[in-house]
Amino acid sequence: MKPQDAMTSRDNTAIARTLNEALPYLRRYNDATVVIKLGGHAMGSDEGMASFARDVVLMRTVGINPVIVHGGGPMINDLLARLGVTSTFVRGKRVTDAETVKVVEMVLAGQVNKRIVQAINTAGGRAVGLSGKDADMIVCEPDDPELGFVGRPTEVDPKLLHALFRDEMIPVIAPIGTGAADETFNINGDTAAGAIAGALQADRLLLLTDVAGVKDGSGKVVTELTVEQVHALTSDGTIAGGMIPKTQTALDALDAGVRAAVILDGRVPNAVLLELFTSHGAGSLIRAT
Ligand SMILES: Nc1ncnc2c1ncn2[C@@H]1O[C@H](COP(=O)(O)OP(=O)(O)O)[C@@H](O)[C@H]1O
Ligand SMILES: CC(=O)N[C@@H](CCC(=O)OP(=O)(O)O)C(=O)O
């Protein structure tokens, strides 16, 4: 028996309802630009990566311009540990000396970037792997002298990305930038994604992480957050640790002209599709006020 013969009419009704529900969202996002930050913790298994890649190809197929900006902190930690180098973090950012930045670039622009590119191409898309160095896309200044070669983007040139959109290619970007003195800078993945989303005036910035969204004081995920609520939850300490740079990136992106930012769990199968194409969405949405 073929699998579809085994499907009940109830299955078919559910499928039809889902497709119907998606229709207004498919219309809304036609030709929209969606920047997705894929964090190292959200990358997981090969099956998870393949599923993410299929979602991205589906987005491209329905006329969205997806841009992937990735992290890879755990993969950098692995190689540094094998090389016997200890790494420390200050306020969520890796202290990066001249030797460390070489390892960071090798892991992010090499191993991690190409894994995502290959997964998207296997799923039927045409992904192009880049770092912020390509076409001088991301120019940085030092973030903080204490952090060494950690960059803060000062200029992001989206020209190359627009050229790729015209040919329906999918940019996959490692968060590495250059400095005025030709230095190589390590950029926090969230920061790079926010800066790119701002330069593109993106419709959505999706920050994929390892929690369901931003939680309030009682531990409940807040599905829609205002800018004021983010400030309040940060000053009372409810938003803490790694969530601080994430919500700050979301607010900076909104200031730069991005229409909305969403923080969601990248380990949930089809998280991106559920966010974009269903009425209940996924995660915490922060909209410009
Ligand atoms: N209010 C909050 N809501 C949700 N997560 C929070 C909150 N405050 C702190 N966190 C922490 O932030 C973490 C996400 O940041 P981080 O670990 O840096 O993510 P990633 O590695 O995906 O970039 C969560 O796993 C959680 O432990
Ligand atoms: C400056 C800084 O901290 N850069 C990060 C870049 C990778 C990253 O952001 O990875 P995740 O998204 O997986 O955390 C780092 O060196 O780990």
So what's the pLDDT on residue 15? 78
Give the list of residues 6+ apart from residue 36 with CB closer than 8 angstroms, or none: 56, 66, 67, 68, 69, 193, 206, 208, 272
Nearest to 216 by CA among 252, 243, 195, 186: 243
**Residue 151 annotated in active site:** no
Share of the chain above pLDDT 90, in %: 77
pLDDT per position as a tens digit, 194-222: 999 999 999 999 999 999 999 999 999 99
Looking at residue 73, its amino acid is G
Report all structural domains of the chain as residue ranges with CATH numbers, in order of start: 28-287 (3.40.1160.10)
d(CA 183, CA 187): 12
Whole-prediction pTM: 0.93
Q: Does residue 94 contact residue 73 with C-beta atoms inside 8 Å?
A: yes
Catalytic residue among 55, 143, 190, 203: 190
Nearest partner of 62 among 35, 34, 81, 39, judged by Cα? 34
Higher local confidence (pLDDT), 153 or 24: 153
Which runs of E-coded beta strand occur in the chain? 33-38, 65-70, 89-90, 93-94, 127-131, 138-142, 151-156, 170-174, 176-179, 184-186, 204-209, 224-225, 260-265, 284-287
The answer, yes or no, to whether any atom of ligand 2 lies below 6 A from the CB of 104, is yes
Cα(69)–Cα(173) distance, integer angstroms: 5
Distance, in Å, from the CA atom of 263 to the CA atom of 244, rounded to the nearest integer, reads 12
44-83 tens-digit pLDDT = 889 999 999 999 999 999 999 999 999 999 999 999 999 9
Confirm whether 179 is a catalytic residue: no
**Six token digits for residue 24:** 């207004």
Known catalytic membership, residue 125: no
- Name the residue at shortest CA distance from atom 2 of ligand 2: 188
